[in-house]
């Protein structure tokens, strides 16, 4: 995951056939030991597309040249829908030779084997789910700490990358916490349950209620809230 918010990934075909690094999935820390993947990390962490195209310029499906040193060459694709830069192919530059990297890339394009496949998107979905689960707890606890420090103020933040609001209301010796979701961001109750558990791991689903309004305002169209009372 890059600071700019997108991911760098290598297609399963490229891992197996071009890099020869085994059967996917392979950890990125292991992939980056290869010069072309290290070059992708250096060059595509900020610029998702740059340099000449590999093959024809076909708009958002265009592949771009990636190179390092005299002979390491790659073809990358910026998958804007998934926010991923894929390393789709790798080869050695041997100008004029039949096994030159660019001849190889053209062959993969002609055979319709250069872009990510269903297998790659299955790994992407799995990794995103695991990454989300790992981020939820720390994100929720940081946001809860801020809200507790500013009771009566609605705090905006993100948990696992999902924008939401949190409001802590003090009632004598008790606190009531309101977590506000925008249904344009997520409507999945399983995601809601995972995020709520990130705020209060010991609370069950039945310990949250569904308020029709917030203490300081009405719920806006498209908003949905959960609330729980505790000492």
Give 150-162 pLDDT, tens digit per residue.
999 999 999 988 8
Among 61, 22, 68, smallest CA distance to 41 is for 68
Residue 98, pLDDT > 80, answer no
User: Of the residues 68, 86, 116, which one is the last residue of a structural domain?
Assistant: 116
Q: What is the mean pLDDT of the chain?
A: 93
**Residue 124 covered by a domain:** no
Give me the pLDDT at residue 54, please.
96
Q: Is 126 inside any structural domain? A: no
Q: Peptide bond before 25: cis, by omega within 30 degrees of 0? A: yes
Q: Are 112 and 13 within one domain?
A: yes
**Are residues 16 and 65 located together in one domain of the fold?**
yes
Q: List strand residue ranges (DSSP E) for the chain, in order.
A: 7-10, 53-54, 63-68, 72-79, 84-92, 155-159, 162-171, 174-182, 223-230
Is residue 129 in a domain? no
| pLDDT tier for residue 103 given thresholds of 50, 70 and 90 | very high
- Domain assignment present for residue 123? The answer is no
Range of the domain at 39: 7-116
Residue with more model confidence, 129 or 111: 111
- Does residue 150 belong to any structural domain of this protein? yes
**In a shared domain, residues 102 and 160:** no
**What's the CA gap between 1 and 76, in Å, rounded?**
16
On whether the CB atoms of residues 124 and 9 are closer than 8 A, the answer is yes
Q: Which residues contact 88 (CB under 8 A, 6 or more apart)?
A: 11, 14, 63, 74, 75, 76, 77, 108, 114, 115, 116
Is there a single domain that holds both residue 157 and residue 102?
no
Give the residue-averaged pLDDT of 221-225.
Answer: 95
Domain total of the chain: 2
Reported as a single tens digit per residue, the pLDDT across 20-61 is: 998 988 989 899 999 999 999 999 999 999 889 999 999 999
Residues 105 and 162 reside in one and the same domain: no
CATH number assigned to the domain comprising residue 21: 3.30.2310
Quote the pLDDT of residue 78.
97
Same domain, 141 and 98: no
* 19 and 10 Cβ atoms separated by less than 8 Å: yes
> Is the domain of 75 the same as that of 111?
yes
**pLDDT of 96 higher than 80:** no
Residue 15 has pLDDT above 90, yes or no: yes
Residue 2 lies in a domain: no
Q: What is the pLDDT of residues 161-187, one digit of tens each?
A: 889 999 999 988 899 999 999 988 888
| pLDDT confidence of residue 147 | 96
Residue 152 lies in a domain: yes
Same domain? For 12 and 94 the reply is yes
Confidence of residue 9 (pLDDT cuts 50, 70, 90): very high
If asked whether residues 92 and 150 sit together in one domain, one would say: no
Residue 214 confidence (pLDDT): 96
Does the pLDDT at position 2 exceed 80? yes
Same structural domain for residues 71 and 149? no
Does the residue 122 lie in any domain? no
Confidence of residue 134 (pLDDT cuts 50, 70, 90): confident
Residues 94 and 142 in one domain: no
Cβ atoms of residues 180 and 213 within 8 Å: no
Pairing mode, if any, of strands 53-54 and 63-68?
A: antiparallel
Average pLDDT over residues 77-106: 91
């Amino acid at each position: 995951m890059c600071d700019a918010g997108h991911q760098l990934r290598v297609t399963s075909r490229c891992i197996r056939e071009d890099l020869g690094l085994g059967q996917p999935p392979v950890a990125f820390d292991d992939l980056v030991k290869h010069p072309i993947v290290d070059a992708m990390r250096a060059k595509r962490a900020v610029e998702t597309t740059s340099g000449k195209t590999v093959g024809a310029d076909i708009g958002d499906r265009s592949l771009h040249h990636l190179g390092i040193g005299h002979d390491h060459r790659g073809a990358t694709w910026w998958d804007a829908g998934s926010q991923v830069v894929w390393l789709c192919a790798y080869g050695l530059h041997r100008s004029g030779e039949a096994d030159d990297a660019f001849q190889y890339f053209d062959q993969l394009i002609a055979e319709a084997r250069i872009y990510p496949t269903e297998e790659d998107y299955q790994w992407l979905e799995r990794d995103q789910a695991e990454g989300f689960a790992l981020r939820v707890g720390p994100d929720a606890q940081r946001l809860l700490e801020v809200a507790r420090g500013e009771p009566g103020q609605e705090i905006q933040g993100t948990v696992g990358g999902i924008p939401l609001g949190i409001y802590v209301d003090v009632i004598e010796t008790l606190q009531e916490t309101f977590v506000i979701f925008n249904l344009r961001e997520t409507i999945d109750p399983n995601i809601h349950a995972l995020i709520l558990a990130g705020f209060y791991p010991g609370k069950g689903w039945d310990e949250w209620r569904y308020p029709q309004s917030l203490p300081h305002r009405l719920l806006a169209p498209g908003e949905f809230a959960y609330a729980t009372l505790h000492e």
